[in-house]
Structure 1
């Protein structure tokens, strides 16, 4: 028998990295590898115009990391909304917080970007637990 605890969760993985987020309200997490330069430049065109401009104005060697950071924030937010990629990636500028949402970049291994989106503007505690492969 399952008993509802009112806890929501989100899961994301890439390579050997796994993120699990849990909260008492809407939550989304995402982890992304930094793509090749050409891929970052092409996919940036699908982002919000301000986000696309941030990728395009970055130094070429920084564009993959800038894109990965924005994309991780975007996917975390869309997961938190419950729409996933069914919502237009250009609809929202995720470079900062959005009304009713707090977006946070998470520290992960080099070559990756990760983000957390929580459907609340109230201060909350973020606990990070890092488990190394065994």
Structure 2
């Protein structure tokens, strides 16, 4: 059995967004034309076909029995990290990690405890089983909502953010956004500004998580302010200096949240599944 080597990375939890939750603003959700999330049990995965990207959405406010079941699948390293948390942070961490293991295991045809992970220089995770590589994947959570993206043949990145008032919002936008993006955010007020900020942030995080660097290592290098409803092909400099093409699109989730997906090319099919527990 493999032992997972899990660690905190700036790709998943950027310190500039790590602020206490405030009361969620009352605003209307954006109207995106895209597949609706279909209710699915966690064990209702299927073989990932080439060209297909599957996104799972799950609430991580698990009940006690579900929490215990998911916790039992975690590795020693994950349990050590869990021991450093309490309350909602503990529940969200254990539930998110447990769901990720169950979904990956179902795709790979193994038990959740038979998965191992290794990490790139910037912390991008990769899953392994005793028989080889697992599928490409990425995970993000904000508040009690988590998203999980999977593909058999291309890198993926996903990000979700709860829309809320944030301290230093303009400062963060100036640091990480393009000049055009920062200007558009600064030109709005209150709920509209918070919503647009979250949309831009998730697009950029999804892109840089797919690339494998995280937004903290690529501030302001790509402008995603004019993206179409069905997404866009964007060009982003690689570490070698050459431009690479990536596909980015918004994903409509629950009211009060913004989300985005990035993959190497536009998927032939995008399956969105709303996870529920047996």
Q: TM-score, normalised by structure 2?
A: 0.44
Does the 8 Å contact 1:41/1:63 carry over to 2? no
Answer yes or no: is the 8 Å Cα contact 2:165–2:190 preserved in 1.
no
Match of 2:259 in 1: 114
Alpha-carbon spacing, 1:33–1:133, altered in 2? closer, same or farther (3 Å): farther
Q: Which residue of 2 aligns with 1:129?
A: 273
- What is the alpha-carbon root mean square deviation over aligned residues? 2.0
Contact 2:204 2:215 in 1 (8 A): no
Q: Quote how far apart the aligned CAs of 1:15 are.
A: 1.6
Residues of 2 paired with 1:117 and 1:101: CA distance?
7
Aligned residue for 2:158, secondary structure, equals strand
Please identify, of 11-20 and 51-60, the stretch whose mean Cα deviation from structure 2 is larger.
51-60
Alpha-carbon offset, residue 37 of structure 1: 5.3
Counterpart residue number, 1:28: 157
Given that residues 74 and 89 in structure 1 are in contact (C-alpha distance below 8 angstroms), is that contact kept between their aligned partners in structure 2? no
**Contact residue 205 and residue 214 of structure 2 kept, 8 A:** yes
User: Do the aligned partners of residues 63 and 9 (structure 1) sit closer, same or farther apart at CA in structure 2, a change above 3 Å counting?
Assistant: same
* SS of residue in 1 equivalent to 2:220: coil
C-alpha distance in structure 2 between counterparts of 1:14 and 1:133, whole Å: 19
Per-residue Cα deviation, 1:22-53 (whole angstroms, up to 9, x for no partner): 12211100001123154433322121111111
Per-residue CA deviation, residues 85-125 of structure 1 (Å, 9 max, x unaligned), is 342321111233313211111111222110000111x4521
**Deviating more after overlay: 41-50 vs 63-72:** 41-50
Unaligned runs of 5+ in 1: none
Is the partner of 1:68 in helix, strand or coil?
helix
Partner Cα distance (2:277, 2:202) in 1? 23
Query: Larger radius of gyration, structure 1 or 2?
Result: 2
State the match for 1:75 in structure 2. Answer: 205
Q: Secondary structure in 1 aligned to 2:248?
A: strand
State the match for 1:10 in structure 2.
138
Count residues in correspondence.
132
Deviating beyond 4 angstroms after TM superposition, the runs of 4 or more aligned structure 1 residues are none
- Alpha-carbon distance change, 31 to 57 in structure 1, aligned in 2, over 3 angstroms: same
Q: Which runs of structure 2 are paired with 1:66-105 in the superposition (5 Å)? A: 66-95=196-225, 96=227, 97=232, 98-99=234-235, 100-105=245-250
C-alpha change, 1:84 and 1:37, in structure 2 (3 Å) is closer
